Amino acid sequence: MNTNLLLPYTFRKWGWIIFAPSFILGILVLFLNVEFDWLGKKVFTIYAGSGLKILNDADTGQFFSFISGNYTQTFAGILCLVSLMMIAFSKEKTEDEFIWRTRMDSLLWATYINYFILIFCFLFFSILNFCIL
């Protein structure tokens, strides 16, 4: 049985340790607008504006620019995603062929691609609020 793509079982514990505070931070950010001052930085973005020109003719957005803002929301979102990946893709204590095959065929590659696209969008597109997601 080839399980090279799975993380070791110990990653499951660390995933839960990271997920609990990042989930609480996400709730605080979404509902109470909590922001950390040390996450107020100037970062690179592919597009920054109020919407795409197709949707809004008066939009003055810019492509490939640096913007400043507070990224507590982005930080909480990425921590949640990474911790959930650690939980979902770590081996079980007893990993048999059925568990391995089911996991690999139905979930692994689709989720990796989805999370990669989502993290990429978190980092480089500053158009929409997380509440829309």
Sign of CA dihedral 25, 73, 111, 132: positive
Q: How far apart are CA 131 and CA 56, in angstroms?
A: 20
Q: Tell me, what's the pLDDT at 78?
A: 95
Q: Tell me, what's the pLDDT at 20?
A: 96
Q: How far apart are CA 115 and CA 128, in angstroms?
A: 18
pLDDT along the chain (133 residues), means of 10: 75 96 95 91 79 58 83 92 92 83 78 86 67 42
Q: Tell me, what's the pLDDT at 55?
A: 54
| Cα radius of gyration rounded to whole Å, the chain | 18
Q: What is the pTM of this model?
A: 0.68
